[in-house]
Structure 1
Amino acid sequence: MAGVSVRRAAAYGIDAPVVFAGFGFAVLSCLLMTTITDGPAPLVGAGLLALCAAVQLHTTVRGKFVAWDEVLTGLRLRGHEEVLDLGCGRGAVLLAAAKRLPDGVAVGVDLWRSVDPSGNDISTTRENAVAEGVADRVRLRTGDLARLPLLDESFDLVLSSLALHSVAGADARAVAIREAVRVLRPGGRIVLADIGHTRQYAAALTELGMIDVHRRGLGWRMWWSGPWVPTTLVTARKP
């Protein structure tokens, strides 16, 4: 299907709100330092921190949507697939996928913790699905990514954006990867975006017999405060 507009009718919250609080505190501290310290260092520090916060804000309110639009467009979905989003949160990726599935279904799984993204709640995601006009093709489930409440080989595509790194421990993340493969149909694809552990994801997918396993950066649109925290995409296909 052709790309879908990244214009959004719903509210998707702020990723890592505690990070913005940290930036705010640090900028304020630098500004206070100007009252007791000579020289430009505190002002320079405040400016750099503000720039990092601006980069992070751009990523969370626009950049990630543009990046995922390009990823989803590149998948060339036919519109009838069954798609799973692991750690769907308020639905940024889930609903973007659902817009490309006029005859398909998009299922989101999450534990619905309210800290990251801000306001993460199953009722909010339902409201967002209504606002985006895709409620008829969206299903939401509560579940642990390491113990998915889903049947074997029930999805054509498994997505995840910035969720797997929150699974504590390498062993638990490996189990989550195994679960993603379990629910994927033969010929189906896995597309995972994350800020860490992506080499582990790729290795685990290879060990599980997945083919066409690749890693690539998603570029500046998904930098979190700067190039030192990039987002990497891992893709694979089930034979």
Structure 2
Amino acid sequence: MTTTLDPRRRRGDYGIDGDFSVIPARWQAVIIAAIVATLIALTVRNIATGAFIGAVVTGLLTLGLVLFVGSYLYTTRVGKFEVWARILNDFRLRGDEQVLDLGCGRGALLLMAAELLPRGRPVGIDLWHADQTGNSPDATRRNAEREGVADRVEVETGDITQLPFADNTFDLIISNLVLHNIPSAAGRRAAIDEAVRVLSPGGRLAIADLWATNRHRARLHELGLTDVRRRNLGWRMWWGGPWFPTRLVTATKSAMPVTN
């Protein structure tokens, strides 16, 4: 019987995506709330004093900021789960595959994949930087317990540009909003190369990110992968609006040897 993911049945605590290494998430929320309150006060004052053009400007700024924050929170708390549940369901996994999640964080993708692998091996790897609230191996393992998949999930600490796995190990490699955190183009290219190296012949790859996805697609073509595609994942994965979309690159590794 084929398992189908239901994105509404998440039991884990996956935090909020974002960079909180400099300013903690709580303080970022306080700052945004203060800006919104200030804009609302200015709008009210402009209306009271008859400065209607100013009221329109501050009102539009308030609305834009509220919509930006609302879109961001929807994506990080709901949208990404809906989108990735559909992506993973479409792979129609048998249930015995080996799957690698590059930059697994608190396990949002990894643990969804684990639900589809009752006889498989889901592996997550990360450096555990503070790009999510409370990002750590222990947080991932706690979420695995809550989702009921702790018995088959493996969590590794490592660099995705130098993966600690043998060639041709994994049937599927997934990643969400990770490669853009690598500061150099050479590093991002190395991550793509490593993903292809550990991917089994006939295996599939799905990488979602905010930028450089055209370069990822081009490199996968260079490495000889087939059915290489790139698409916009739509409004459910807008990070504040259509100007910050997420794009997905997918490909299949040929059974022929990969050459550089």
TM-score (norm: length of structure 1): 0.94
Q: Which residue of 2 aligns with 1:16?
A: 18
Is residue 70 of structure 1 aligned with residue 70 of structure 2? no
Deviation at 1:137, TM superposition (A): 1.0
What is the aligned-residue RMSD (CA, Å)?
Answer: 1.6
Match of 1:138 in 2: 153
Residue 155 (structure 1) aligned with residue 164 (structure 2):
no
1:107 aligns with 2:108: no
Deviation at 1:26, TM superposition (A): 3.7
Counterpart of 1:190 (choices 191, 202, 205) is: 205
Shift of 1:104: 0.1
Q: Give the superposition deviation at 1:44.
A: 2.1
Whether the 8 Å contact between 1:4 and 1:69 is mirrored in structure 2 is yes
Unaligned runs of 5+ in 2: 255-260
1:236 lines up with 2:251 in the alignment: yes
SS of 1:16's partner is coil
Matches within 5 A, 1:36-47: 38=51, 39-40=54-55, 41-47=57-63
Q: Determine what percentage of the aligned residue pairs are the same residue.
A: 49
How many angstroms does 1:117 deviate by? Answer: 1.5
Per-residue CA shift, 1:72-121, capped at 9, x if unaligned?
Answer: 010010000000000000000000000000000100000011x2211101
Q: Secondary structure at the match of 2:4?
A: coil
Retained in 2: the 8 A contact 1:90–1:120?
A: yes
Where do 1:18-33 residues align within 5 Å?
21=29, 23-33=32-42
Q: Residues 78 and 175 from structure 1, CA distance in 2 versus in 1: closer, same or farther, beyond 3 angstroms?
A: same
What CA deviation, in whole Å up to 9, does each residue of 1:176-197 have, x standing for no partner?
Answer: 0000001001000110011111
Q: Which residue of 1 aligns with 2:139?
A: 124
Distance, in Å, in 2 between the alignment partners of 1:204 and 1:44 is 42
Alignment check: 8 A CA contact 1:23 1:50 kept:
no
Deviation at 1:36, TM superposition (A): 6.6
Q: Note the C-alpha offset of 1:132.
A: 0.3
More displaced, 39-48 or 118-127?
39-48
The letter of the residue matching 1:176 is A
Ranges of 4+ aligned residues in structure 1 off by more than 6 Å: none
SS at match of 1:148: coil
Match of residue 195, structure 2, among 163, 171, 180 = 180
Deviations 1:129-183 (A, max 9, x none): 0110001110000011111111111100000001011011111100000000010
SS of residue in 2 equivalent to 1:12? coil
Q: Check the 8 A contact 1:30/1:45 in 2, yes or no.
A: yes
Secondary structure of 1:147's match?
A: coil
Match of residue 4 from structure 2: 3
- 2:216 is paired with a residue of what secondary structure? helix
* Structure with bigger gyration radius: 2
Q: Which residue identity does 1:30 align to in structure 2?
A: L
Q: Identify the residue that residue 208 of structure 1 maps to in structure 2.
A: 223
* Counterpart Cα distance in 2 of 1:213 and 1:11: 33
Q: Which residue does 2:258 correspond to in 1? A: none
Q: TM-score, normalised by structure 2?
A: 0.87
